[in-house]
Amino acid sequence: MNLPSRLLQLLMVVLMVGGASYLMMQSLPGDAAWRIAAGRYGYDALDAAAAASVRAELGLEAQGGLHFLYWLGDILRLELGTSLISGESVWVEIRHQLGNSLSLAGAALGISLLIGPPLGLLAGLRAGGWLDRSLLAVCSLLRATPQFLLALVLILLISVEMGLLPAAGHGEPQHFILPAMTLALGLAAVSARLARDAMAAVTQTAFHDFARWKGLSNAQTFWRHGLRHVALPLVTYLGLQFVTLVEGVVVIESIFGWPGIGHALVHAIFSRDVPMVQGTALVLGVGFVLINLLVDLLGRQLDPRGVK
Amino acid sequence: MNQVVEGLAPQRVEAVRRPRLDWPLRRVIGAAMVASLVLLALLGNLVIPGDPLEQHLYRALQGADAVGVSDAGEVITSAPLGYDHLGRSLYHRLVAALGLSLSIAAGAVILAAFSGISLGLLAAGRGGWAERLLSLVADSLLALPGLLLVLMVSVILPSTPLALWLGLSLVLWVEFFRLARATGRSVLASPGVEASRLLGFGAWYRFRHHLWPEMAPVMMTAMAFGMANALMAIAALGFVHVGIPEPTPELGTMMVELLPYWREAPFALLTPVLVTFLLLLGLLLMSGSKARTSTAADTLEGARP
C-alpha cells in the first residue's frame, strides 16, 4: 500500500473507533451515571446523590443530534477527554500504560525472534528432515493452544509447582519473563513456520543452486542469496504480528496483572468507561496503521523490484 | 492466484467441474476430532440427561458417580465427569458450553462467509468506487484487533451471545472478502466466464459453475480457520471475565472458575482445557493452513528464471 491509502486507512480507523465509541455511549445499559458513580466511589458508597453529581459533572443529560459531530471534532483535535472513573485525562492514563505494554510487547517480540526464525531457517535448510518434522508438530500444537491456556500452563508449572518465578506482578525484571514468554511462544510458532517455508523455497531456486555450483560455502550462500528473501515475508509478518501481540496483550495483561493498555481496556469495558475505551482503541488502531506503514517502507527497501 | 488463471485453459472450461477438496490424512483426523465434539454437543444431553445449573453442593469437586441414586435415597442425575466447585455436573456443563461456543462460532463464520463472499465478488465485479470503498473498510477493520472489536460491540449490544456473534462476524468477514475479491478478479476476467455470459447464463449459474469451484478449497480452509479463531476469542473473553456472563456454562469461564481448585480436582480443570485444545487442534488440522505459505512462494516468483 502506498502513503495516501495508508492515510485514508488512518482516517477510516479514527472514524470507526469514534463512531463505535459514540454508539457505546448512547447504548450504555442502565443508567450510566450510576455505573460510573459505582466505579468511582465503590458500590457501598453509592446513592442517588452520588449518581446525580456524576450526571451533572459529565453532562450526561444533553444528547443532541449534533452531538456526534462534536464527538468526532473532539477526536480530530486530539481531545480524548477524561476517564469517567479516575477523572484523569485519558492521555495521561494511556501514556503511562502504553509504556508498560510496549516494554512487554518488545520483550515478547525479541524473545520470539530469538526462538522462531533461527529454528525455522535450520528446518528449512533440511526440509523434510527430523528437525523440520518435529518443528511442524510443535508449531501445530502451539498454534492450537490459546494464549490464555499457555499462560495457565506456564503459571501452574513454573510459578506454582516449581516456585521459580512470580505468577503476577510488575516492576521487577523477573516479572517480565512469564508474560513475555507466553506471548513469544505463540508468535515464534508462526514466524518459525514462515522462515522455514521461505528458506525451503529459496533452496529450491535456480539462483541458490548456481551460488552453490560456483563454489560459495553454505554460509556465504545464505548471507548473500538467502537472507534477503527470507527476511521479506518475515518483515511483512511483523506488521501482522502487531495485531496478534495487541490481542495477546489484552488477555495476557489481565491474567498476569500487568498494568498495561490491555488491562486498562478490559477494566474500561467492565466499568463502561467509554472515553478510556475510545482512547485505547484509537491508540491501538493508529499504532497498527503506522507500524504497517513502516513495514511497507522496510519491505520496499528489502525488495526494490516494485509493487505489481 | 496466477495458477488459477492458468488452470482455466479454454478446453477445460466447458467441462463442468465439481468443487474438489482433497482429503489428506491430517484433514481426516482433524475432521473426525471436530465431528466427535460436535456430536457430543448435540447428543450429550440426550444420552445422559441432566441440568448444567443444578447444584449438589455436598458433592462439590467429587469424582464421577456411578449410580443415579444418592445415599439419602433421592434420585440424582448421574455426572460421568464428576462435579465442579459448586456441585454442578461437569459433563453437562461441558456439553452446554460446547454447544454454546460452537453455535456462536458457526453462526459467526456463516454470516461472515456469506457477507464476505458476496461483498468480495461485488467488489471484484464492479471495480471502481465500490471496490475502493469496500477495501478501505476492510483494511481499516484489519487495523483494529479482533478482540477489541468484539469488546466494543459487546458494550453496544445488550445480549452477550448476540454481541459475540455479530462482533465475531464483523472481524471474520474481512478474510472472506479478501479471498473472494482476489479469486473473483481473476476468474471473472477469464474467457470461461465471458463465454458463459455470452451464452446467456445468469449470475447464479456463473457463480455456481465458475467461481465457487475455484473458491471452495480456499474458503473451506478459511472457514475452519475462522471457526478456530472465533472459538479461541470466545474462550479468551470468558477467561478474563468479559465474555458470556456466569452462570451460563462457557469453556473459558469454566477454566477460570476451576483454576483455584486445580490441586484438589485437577481432572475438573483438565476437562474444559482438553476439550478446547482438541477442538482447536482439530479445526487447525482441518484448515491445513496452507494459505500462509503462499506469500513466501509469491515473493520468489519474480526471481525464478
Dump the DSSP string for A238-306.
Answer: HHHHHHHHHHHHHHHHHHHT--SHHHHHHHHHHTT-HHHHHHHHHHHHHHHHHHHHHHHHHHHHH-TT-
Report CB contact under 8 Å: B145, A146: no
**Cβ contacts of A197 on chain B, cutoff 8 Å:** 292-293, 296-297
- Interface contact A148, partner B, CB < 8 A: yes
| CA separation, residue A254 to residues A65, B29, B199 (Å) | 37, 35, 60
Q: Of B144, B146, B236, which is closest to A148 when you measure between CB atoms? A: B236
B18 vs A1 pLDDT, higher one = A1
- Interface contact A138, partner B, CB < 8 A: no
Cell of A118: 533461527
Average pLDDT of span A291-304? 79
Q: Chain B closest CA to A284's CA: distance in Å?
A: 7
**Cβ contacts of A120 on chain B, cutoff 8 Å:** none
Q: Chain A closest CA to B43's CA: distance in Å?
A: 25
Instruction: Report the alpha-carbon distance of residue A308 to residue A286 in Å, rounded.
Output: 26
Q: Quick one: pLDDT at residue B105?
A: 92
Confidence of residue A62 (pLDDT cuts 50, 70, 90): low
Asked if A113 contacts A191 with a C-beta cutoff of 8 angstroms, the reply is: yes
Average pLDDT of span A18-28? 77
CA A207 to chain centre: 37
Task: Return the percentage of chain A with pLDDT > 70, whole number.
Answer: 89
Cell of B76: 440424582
pLDDT, tens only, A10-22: 888 888 888 888 7
Give the chain A residue whose CA is nearest to the CA of B256: A152
For Cα atoms A166, A168, A173, give the angle at the middle one, nearest 5 degrees. Answer: 60
Average pLDDT of span A193-219? 82
Residue appearing with cell numbers 453509592 = A46
Q: pTM to 2 decimals? A: 0.78
**Interface predicted TM-score (ipTM):** 0.74
Q: Quick one: pLDDT at residue B304?
A: 33
Burial class (CB in 10 A: 0-12, 13-18, 19+), B7: exposed
Q: Quick one: pLDDT at residue A88?
A: 74
- Interface contact A1, partner B, CB < 8 A: yes
Q: Quick one: pLDDT at residue B13?
A: 44
Instruction: Report the alpha-carbon distance of residue B245 to residue B250 in Å, rounded.
Output: 9
Instruction: Report the alpha-carbon distance of residue B176 to residue B113 in Å, rounded.
Output: 6
Contacts (Cβ under 8 Å, ≥6 apart) of A17: A75, A278, A281, A282, A285, B144
| CA separation, residue B167 to residues A9, B109, B111, B172 (Å) | 20, 11, 11, 9
Closest to A140 measured CA to CA, from B278, B147, B260: B278
Q: Of B144, B276, B300, which is closest to A201 when you measure between CB atoms? A: B300
Report CB contact under 8 Å: B300, A194: no
Cell of B211: 467461481
Mean pLDDT of chain B: 78
**Cβ contacts of A272 on chain B, cutoff 8 Å:** 155
**Cβ contacts of B242 on chain A, cutoff 8 Å:** 266, 269-270
Q: Chain B closest CA to A53's CA: distance in Å?
A: 24
Within chain A, strands assigned E span none
**Cβ contacts of A285 on chain B, cutoff 8 Å:** 140, 143-144
Report CB contact under 8 Å: B139, A156: no
Q: Chain B closest CA to A56's CA: distance in Å?
A: 23
Report CB contact under 8 Å: B148, A254: no
- Residue A31 is given by DSSP the state -
Cβ contacts below 8 Å, chain A against chain B, sum to 150
Backbone torsion region of residue B201, taken as left when φ is above 0, otherwise alpha when ψ lies between -120 and 50, otherwise beta: beta
Q: Of B151, B255, B305, which is closest to A269 when you measure between CB atoms? A: B151
**Cβ contacts of B144 on chain A, cutoff 8 Å:** 13, 16-17, 281, 284-285, 288
Average pLDDT of span A155-182? 77
User: Which of the listed ranges A69-78, A196-205, B13-22 does the model predict with the highest average pLDDT?
Assistant: A196-205
User: Number of C-alpha atoms within 13 angstroms, CB side, residue A215?
Assistant: 0
Residue spans of alpha helices (H) in B48-127:
90-126
**Cβ contacts of A299 on chain B, cutoff 8 Å:** none
**Cβ contacts of A293 on chain B, cutoff 8 Å:** none
Give the chain A residue whose CA is nearest to the CA of B278: A144
**Cβ contacts of B142 on chain A, cutoff 8 Å:** 243
**Cβ contacts of B262 on chain A, cutoff 8 Å:** 156
Q: Quick one: pLDDT at residue B196?
A: 87
Confidence of residue B3 (pLDDT cuts 50, 70, 90): very low
Q: Chain A closest CA to B209's CA: distance in Å?
A: 29
| CA separation, residue A4 to residues A11, A270, B280 (Å) | 11, 37, 39
Q: Of A145, A156, A305, which is closest to B277 when you measure between CB atoms? A: A145
Q: Of B262, B284, B300, which is closest to A202 when you measure between CB atoms? A: B300
Instruction: Report the alpha-carbon distance of residue B138 to residue B133 in Å, rounded.
Output: 9
Residues 279-298 of A with CB under 8 A from B: 280-281, 284-285, 288-289, 292
pLDDT, tens only, B154-182: 888 877 888 889 989 998 998 899 888 88
Cell of A10: 488512518
- Interface contact A217, partner B, CB < 8 A: no
Cell of B292: 500462509
pLDDT, tens only, B234-277: 888 888 777 787 788 888 888 888 888 878 888 888 888 888 88
Q: Chain A closest CA to B180's CA: distance in Å?
A: 19
- Interface contact A209, partner B, CB < 8 A: no
Task: Return the percentage of chain B with pLDDT > 90, whole number.
Answer: 7
User: Number of C-alpha atoms within 13 angstroms, CB side, residue A102?
Assistant: 11
Q: Chain B closest CA to A257's CA: distance in Å?
A: 11
Instruction: Report the alpha-carbon distance of residue A147 to residue A179 in Å, rounded.
Output: 10
